[in-house]
Structure 1
Amino acid sequence: MFVNRELINLNPREEEYAQIGLQTQSFNPTKLIRFFSSKYKEKFWLATPDLLNEIGVNTHLNLFYQIDEWEHTDEEKPSENKFFQSLAKAIELNDTSLVHSHTPNTHWSNWTWSDFENQDED
């Protein structure tokens, strides 16, 4: 498998899946991607120069704040979310200490109800 132009050779064992909370019964592509992303998380994100190039920004930007987990619900708009409100305030005042991530819940294990294989067909 190639991830960001790098060949990754894997031969995962059942116990490796179990270590991250995945059962191999009813195996599906979602479980495989979760395994890959837990084992090689850093390879699934673009490096900053690649990201800037992807969005067409040619200037160097300093990283203000970076996070990969936050508190999220599907009932609220991002503008109503306490994390995003604190991030907006931190950007406005150029002060990352104002960012409050509260109780992160964006890990996949909190959202298995939305997995493709759990969706009802229309």
Structure 2
Amino acid sequence: MNYQQYYPLIHSIINKYPSKYREDLFNECIIQLASIFNRFDKEKGTIQGFAYKRLNGHCKDFISTQNEYQLTLDNFTIDDGEESRFSDLIQDENDVEEINSVAHRVQVNEQQSVF
């Protein structure tokens, strides 16, 4: 299958999303095309319409997954009903290392559950 003919469709989708994701989204869309071709039923419409819906949905899921566990010191947390920033909870260097360790474990666990 000639994937290059679908580049304009892919670019029309990924250009709706923040530029920092576009390269990854393009690659994700190319990978998804093989699955789309296998699932497409000619009796239900055009390949372009089907591909657009599937690729756009995949892009949304990809970005959601990327953003899900990105912690920053500006994120708010609820602690005993009190709203605090993570940066307010840091008392010394060990706290920063512990936050980084927890964030890394959460990210690794999430990636393992995807596979």
Q: For the superposition of Structure 1 and Structure 2, which TM-score range results when normalised by the shorter chain? A: under 0.3
TM-score scaled by structure 2? 0.26
